[in-house]
A and B are shown apart, each in its own frame.
Chain A
Amino acid sequence: MRTITFTQILRETLAAELRRDPSVFLMGEDIGVYGGAFGVTRGLIHEFGPARVRDTPISEQALTGIAIGAAVAGQRPVIEFMFMDFITLAVDQLVNMAAKLHPIYGLSCPLVFRAPPGGGRGYGATHSQSLERLFAGIPGIKIAAPSTATDASGLLQTAIRDNNPILFLEHKLLYPQRFETEDTLPQPIPFGKAKTVREGTDVTIVAWSYMSHLSRQAATHLAEEGIEAEIIDLLTLNPLDIGTLAESAKRTGRVMIVEEGPKTGGFAAEIAAQLFECASDYLEKPIRRLASPDFPIPSAKNLEAACIPTVPGIVALARELVEG
């Protein structure tokens, strides 16, 4: 066993994939010598060279389109968006090209877009968003969101080997977190299989990415109050393992979903709708969502903290569902 940061295991995984498959290469802004804004690619250029750890000008739309063309022609690019917020510049290429290639043309587009969502560092409203919702409803794009180092490596390996366009979320606050893992990299983890992180009988807490990390902590506090929470980490938003969520809902009868983005129109709403369709008979209470308010994430520390869901907030809502 060893202790490793989220960043380090991502770097190790990228290196392993670059070694395993010569068609894999990285592209992004400042990923070469600079090592990426969050240091994920640091040092990789020294082993793999500037053609496979490729810096690009600031041109997210072209970078994305070029990656798509290269992928269809036979490469396996892994693209880094410096902040998830910048993905808005690439939406046309993702939605109107990448997502349409297989269903319309029957062509595969093996492509991974890595992006760090989330707030908590006071970076401001255009460097702190969680924009997975923009793509969750676009048929043709898969979405993975690990919350532990092992899952990050396992899911990233699967993503790189998958022949479809995949959005891979690496929450900024997870990067420096230390996790216990095996000494060697894990096996690839399949998409579409949610993980029951903790079993419980009183309430189901569904989350992904950093909110999953906070939900685990909330479960410990809840247990001290005698509330046994079942924590489910989605791992992938698309494909969504609604089956595991439904089974849990049937067991606990109380479900809450924790999402970092604004409440309205978030992915939690989609999960809630699906769960209501397949498990409503088992629900003792309405499905609840804990999310950020419908407002941009502010920069000031106290304002930001007031907007993003917290461990006490998760505990409070779970308590309300169980006792209220």
Chain B
Amino acid sequence: MDTFRAYELMLTIRYFEEAIERLFLEGRIMGTAHTCIGQEAVAVGVAAALEPRDAMTTTHRGHGHFLARGADAGRAMAELFGRETGYSHGRGGSQMMMDPSLGFYGANGITGGSIPFASGVALDAQIRGTGRVTACFFGDGASNQGVFHESLNIAALWKLPVLYIVENNGYAMSTSTARGLANPHITDRAAAYGIPGVTVDGNDFFAVRDAVATLADSARKGNGPALLECVTYRLSGHSRGDPRVYRTREEEASARLNDPILRMEIALKKNPATNDEVLAAHRQSAQERIDSAVRFAEDSPLPDPASLAGTLFA
């Protein structure tokens, strides 16, 4: 993935998430959403290292992963608006979107619920010899679910081609990692299954991309799964309307200095040809994409309740 494309994808995600926060406040979308502001380098870094044949699963906080993988911002926004043109025709909402044509198997809203699912997609890849690697996103909180343990054990035993990517953003909803993890070093858990455990700076696009590329190559060669911890920070609240009483504004301000988009711009500007005008052009392009997505969503029709009939079973 070209670095400017990566930058623009990160901006697209940021503006998408910011738009959603605004739209909720304005009462123009309903339900709930869990935005990933501040975590864009993980989503795009992973996507940059994967191949088109690969697969991805995510969590409730999945818009960034979906957009990074190539989702259409309009259809994703339309799903949040509850419209017929949304990825799930309005049935799923924020937490329930999948697109197998992108190898994207979304989430289901249960924390950790997709961890075994991703392992199963990897099993299929192994059975069919497709060389497909499955990137399985989840958070520090989800790494405490029992099914995390079960899935990693089986994947290690069977050498499944799956990368377990834990986005350690410091909080499981309101519970800080200090209060949630008896052992704060999540990658220590990898040793329990005899698989590699790697930690990277999740706000460094290049570090994430390079780590995933190495681990994916190894998985593709049949060496089995790995656990990759991407250390980042969730600048948004857990979900919309979260007043964030569990952390200080000072902590957030400090985290903003480490904003992955800011760091990407610093890296891009190392090339003197990349000046503020160039960056501004990308920002504008990303913003236009989001504005257009919102317009598309608002102009889309509501789904017809009668359309539910007959679709329960395949």
Contacts and interface: CB of A to CB of B under 8 A. Distances in A.
B154 A59 contact: yes
B99 to A, nearest CB: 9
Contacts of A61: 116, 146-147, 150
Contacts of B91: 103-104
Given A61-B116, A104-B88, A73 B98 contact: no
A66 B123 contact: yes
A93 B150 CA distance: 13
Contacts of A75: 123-124, 127
B214 to A, nearest CB: 24
A72 B121 contact: yes
A65 to B, nearest CB: 2
Nearest to B125: A73
Contacts of A142: 313
Contacts of B57: 69
B312 A69 contact: no
Interface stretch (B107-115, B180-188, B238-246): B107-115
B280 interface: no
B159 to A, nearest CB: 12
B196 interface: no
Contact of B113 (A57, A65, A67, A110): A65
Interface string B179-222: 00000000000000000000000000000000000000000000
Contact of A69 (B92, B117, B313): B117
A105 B98 contact: yes
Contacts of B154: 56-57, 59, 62-63, 66
- The residue in B55, B100, B106, B125 that gathers the most chain A C-beta atoms within 10 A of its C-beta is B100
A66 B110 contact: no
A207 to B, nearest CB: 25
Contacts of B153: 57, 59, 62
B306 to A, nearest CB: 14
Contacts of A92: 110, 113, 147
A1 B8 CA distance: 71
B98 A65 contact: no
B59 interface: no
A104 B116 contact: no
A62 B113 contact: no
A72 B105 contact: yes
A64 B120 CA distance: 9
A137 interface: no
A100 B96 CA distance: 9
A159 interface: no
A261 interface: no
B108 A106 contact: no
A74 to B, nearest CB: 5
A68 interface: yes
Contacts of B146: 61
A62 B149 CA distance: 9
A66 B119 contact: yes
A70 B121 contact: yes
Given A59-B154, A96-B109, A105-B96, A68 B311 contact: no
Contact of A65 (B115, B124, B128, B312): B115
B195 to A, nearest CB: 15
Contacts of A139: 312
A70 B120 contact: yes
13 contacts: A59-B154, A61-B116, A62-B150, A62-B154, A65-B116, A66-B123, A69-B119, A70-B121, A72-B105, A72-B120, A74-B124, A102-B312, A104-B96
Given A74-B124, A75-B124, 19 more contacts: A25-B127, A57-B153, A62-B151, A62-B153, A63-B154, A66-B117, A66-B151, A66-B154, A70-B124, A72-B100, A73-B120, A73-B121, A97-B113, A97-B114, A103-B91, A103-B311, A105-B106, A106-B311, A109-B314
Kindly list the 6 A-B residue pairs having the minimum CB-CB distance in the complex, ordered from nearest. A69-B120, A65-B116, A62-B150, A73-B124, A108-B314, A59-B150
